[in-house]
A and B are shown apart, each in its own frame.
Chain A
Amino acid sequence: MHSPVEQFTIKVLFALNLFGYDVSFTNSSLFMVLTVLASIAFLALAIRPAALIPGRMQGLAEMLYEFVADMVRSNVGNEGRPYFPVIFTLFMFVLFSNLLGLIPYSYTTTSQIVVTFALALAIFVGVTLIALVKHGFHFFSFFVPSGAPKALIPFLVVIEVISYFVRPVSLSVRLFANMLAGHTMLKVFAGLAVMIASAGGVAAAGSVLPLIAIIGLTGLEVLVAVLQAYVFTILTCMYLNDALHLH
Chain B
Amino acid sequence: MVFFLFSQELLDKKDVRSGAKVADEESPDKNATPAANTTVSSSLSERISHLEQKHRIADDTPPQATIPQGGMALAGRVSSELVAGLIVGAGSGWVLDRWLDTSPLMLVVMFFLGAVAGMVNVWRAVSGRGMAAGYSDDYETRANKDSSE
Query: Do residues A145 and B135 form an inter-chain contact, with CB atoms below 8 A?
Result: yes
Question: Does A123 make an interface contact (CB < 8 A)?
Answer: no
- Residue tally, chain A, CB below 8 Å to B: 56
Please, which residues of chain B bring their CB within 8 A of the CB of A241? 62-63, 65, 130-131
Query: Do residues A230 and B73 form an inter-chain contact, with CB atoms below 8 A?
Result: yes
Query: Do residues A247 and B117 form an inter-chain contact, with CB atoms below 8 A?
Result: no
A142 to B134 CA separation, bound complex (whole angstroms):
6
Please, which residues of chain A bring their CB within 8 A of the CB of B130? 238, 241-242
Q: Which 4 A-B pairs have the closest CB atoms?
A: A170-B84, A245-B62, A174-B80, A163-B117
- In the complex formed, the residue of A with least CB distance to B136 is A247
Produce 1/0 per residue, B55-72, CB < 8 A to A.
Answer: 101010011010110001
With A74-B13, A166-B81 in contact, is A227–B73 under 8 Å at CB?
yes
Question: Does B120 make an interface contact (CB < 8 A)?
Answer: yes
A66 to B92 CA separation, bound complex (whole angstroms):
40
CB distance from A217 to the nearest CB of B (A): 15
Query: Contact residues of A with B, CB < 8 Å?
Result: 52-53, 63-64, 66-67, 70-71, 73-79, 141-148, 158-160, 162-167, 169-170, 173-174, 177-178, 222-224, 226-228, 230-231, 234-235, 237-239, 241-242, 244-245, 247
Please, which residues of chain B bring their CB within 8 A of the CB of A231? 73, 76-77
Please, which residues of chain A bring their CB within 8 A of the CB of B120? 159-160, 163
Query: Do residues B118 and A166 form an inter-chain contact, with CB atoms below 8 A?
Result: yes
Query: Do residues B72 and A235 form an inter-chain contact, with CB atoms below 8 A?
Result: no
Query: Do residues B133 and A164 form an inter-chain contact, with CB atoms below 8 A?
Result: yes
Total inter-chain residue pairs, C-beta < 8 Å = 147
Besides A142-B132, A222-B2, 14 more A-B contacts (Cβ < 8 Å) are A63-B3, A77-B59, A78-B57, A79-B59, A147-B135, A162-B113, A162-B116, A163-B118, A166-B84, A166-B85, A170-B83, A173-B83, A173-B87, A247-B132
Please, which residues of chain A bring their CB within 8 A of the CB of B50? none
Query: Do residues A163 and B83 form an inter-chain contact, with CB atoms below 8 A?
Result: no
CB distance from A20 to the nearest CB of B (A): 25
Please, which residues of chain A bring their CB within 8 A of the CB of B73? 227, 230-231
Produce 1/0 per residue, B20-35, CB < 8 A to A.
Answer: 0000000000011000
- In the complex formed, the residue of B with least CB distance to A230 is B6
Interface residues of B toward A: which range? 35 or more
A227 to B68 CA separation, bound complex (whole angstroms):
11
Query: Contact residues of B with A, CB < 8 Å?
Result: 2-4, 6-7, 10, 13-14, 31-32, 55, 57, 59, 62-63, 65, 67-68, 72-73, 76-77, 80-81, 83-85, 87-89, 92, 110, 113-114, 116-118, 120-121, 130-137, 140
Query: Do residues A160 and B6 form an inter-chain contact, with CB atoms below 8 A?
Result: no
Query: Do residues B89 and A53 form an inter-chain contact, with CB atoms below 8 A?
Result: no
What would 16 A/B residue contacts be, using CB atoms closer than 8 Å?
Answer: A70-B10, A142-B132, A162-B89, A170-B83, A170-B84, A173-B83, A174-B77, A228-B76, A234-B67, A235-B131, A237-B65, A241-B63, A241-B131, A242-B130, A247-B132, A247-B134
- In the complex formed, the residue of A with least CB distance to B34 is A53
A147 to B110 CA separation, bound complex (whole angstroms):
25
Query: Do residues A169 and B63 form an inter-chain contact, with CB atoms below 8 A?
Result: no
Query: Do residues A67 and B63 form an inter-chain contact, with CB atoms below 8 A?
Result: no
Query: Do residues A76 and B3 form an inter-chain contact, with CB atoms below 8 A?
Result: no
A52 to B136 CA separation, bound complex (whole angstroms):
45
Query: Do residues B59 and A67 form an inter-chain contact, with CB atoms below 8 A?
Result: no
Query: Do residues A159 and B7 form an inter-chain contact, with CB atoms below 8 A?
Result: no
A231 to B73 CA separation, bound complex (whole angstroms):
7
Please, which residues of chain B bring their CB within 8 A of the CB of A164? 133
Please, which residues of chain B bring their CB within 8 A of the CB of A239? 131
Query: Do residues B2 and A226 form an inter-chain contact, with CB atoms below 8 A?
Result: yes
- In the complex formed, the residue of A with least CB distance to B59 is A78
